[in-house]
Amino acid sequence: MTTIKDIETGGERPFYGSHDLRLENVTIHAGESAIKECSNIEAVDCRFEGKYPFWHVNGFTIKHCLFTPGARAALWYSRDLVMSDTLVEAPKMFRDMHNLRLERVTIPDAAETLWHCHGVTLRDVKVDHADYIFMHCSDIDIERYHQNGNYSFQYTKNVTIRDAVLNTKDAFWNTENVTVINCEINGEYLGWHSRGLTLINCRISGTQPLCYCTDLKMVDCELAPDADLAFEFSTLDATIKGHVTSIKNPTAGSITAGSIGETIIDENSRAAAGAVVIKTAE
């Protein structure tokens, strides 16, 4: 492996077509496509300022690096990435990628990040301003994650999230086979039109959660007082700890809660007679 260290460069494609290359303490200034059509790349203690630095790269490691806002759309159309202990200030990161792992990564401007990615692992990652993060991704495994940003995880498949705080409205829309464990989810209109969404030991806040769901499962979850008008037109099996403010027009299944303030079954209900069992544990 060739090592290049302690230099500054920029312009167009300074390392285009490189293979088996290690960059140490390298700064890449304004320009485009610094590391494109490459393989087996290591970047350690580097600073990226130019646009599109990692495109069409197969097999690369990024450690202790900084992507400034000018390094926008930095990692696209690539595979087999491990990134750790890195600050990503650049927007629109990670598109059309396969097999990426992020550890101890912070992304303060994460809007439209992680689109069309498959095989994603996150550990100890924090994202802010993360509207539309994870659009159309699949096979995602997340632990110890903190997110601020709306419309997240839309159209995702095969997702597991553990020990996370998700401050996000309109999350998990049109998802399939998503499991969320030991998490706090804050935001209205959670999980609409999802299929096979499972929530285990989660605390949920925000109005009208979990409507239009198919095969929703909830195990020992809590609903905050503002999580009202829940479960409209959903099929579900739910056990809820504590009080539920209101339930509206579930379609089929069972709901058990500590107590229920209001159950609304009106002329718009789609439930057949006896299709829904609603009871309190008290």
Q: What is the mean pLDDT of residues 185-213?
A: 98
Q: Supply the pLDDT for residue 113.
A: 97
Q: Which residues pair with 93 in a beta bridge?
A: none
Instruction: Inform me whether the pLDDT recorded for 169 exceeds 90.
Output: yes
- Mean of pLDDT over the chain: 97
Bridge partners of 259? 243
> 282 pLDDT exceeds 80?
no
Residue 174 scores a pLDDT above 70: yes
Task: Return the residue matching tokens 């940003």.
Answer: 149
The mean pLDDT value for 16-22 works out to 97
Residue 273 has pLDDT above 90, yes or no: no
Closest among 113, 125, 182 to 152, alpha carbons compared? 113
Average confidence (pLDDT) over 10-15:
94
User: Is the per-residue pLDDT at 210 higher than 70?
Assistant: yes
Q: With beta carbons less than 8 A apart as the criterion, state whether 218 and 199 touch.
A: yes
Phi/psi of residue 146, each to 5°? -130, 125
Burial class of 142 by CB neighbour count within 10 A (0 to 12, 13 to 18, 19+)? buried
Query: What pTM, to 2 d.p., does this model score?
Result: 0.96
* Dist CA 169 CA 141 (whole Å): 21
d(CA 154, CA 261): 31
Note the pLDDT tens digit of each residue in 83-113: 999 999 999 999 999 999 999 999 999 999 9
Strand partners, 246: 262
d(CA 200, CA 273): 29
Residue 96 burial (CB count, 10 A): 15
pLDDT in tens, 68-80: 999 999 999 999 9
